[in-house]
Amino acid sequence: MGYAGQPMKSVKANRALLKKRKRKNIQELLLENGDTTEVDFKTFTAEQVARAKARIRAKARRNRLFNYLFYAFCLFLVLWSFYWMFSPGIF
């Protein structure tokens, strides 16, 4: 048996390693690696922005219509299947 002290030895060794670690201040790290990158964005005219917005809105309208029709078809399919299962038929 005699292994009860083993975890304490590893904890003390880890603690000693933590004390030896050098910690840097966050501000020093930012100043050290704080290179700035220049980014040039493309500029758009008001007409181009309006066209893009109109195209996005038209696509959203088509998607919304498709979703409505799809859900209506699914609802019809579910209701028809319930009618078919529970209606008195030939069987």
Long-range own/partner contacts, residues 59-64 (CB < 8 A, 24 or more apart): none
pLDDT value, residue 26:
66
Residue 18 has phi, psi (to 5 degrees) of -65, -35
| pLDDT (tens digit per residue) in 27-77 | 676 666 656 677 788 999 999 999 999 999 999 999 999 999 999 999 999
- Tokens 């493309």 belong to 42
Query: Rounded CA gap, 56 and 43, in Å?
Result: 19
User: Residues 6-33: pLDDT tens digits?
Assistant: 788 888 888 887 777 666 666 676 666 6
| Cβ-proximal residues to 52 (8 Å cutoff; 6+ apart), any chain | 44
> Residue 90 has what pLDDT?
59
Cβ contacts of 44 within 8 Å, gap of 6 or more: 52
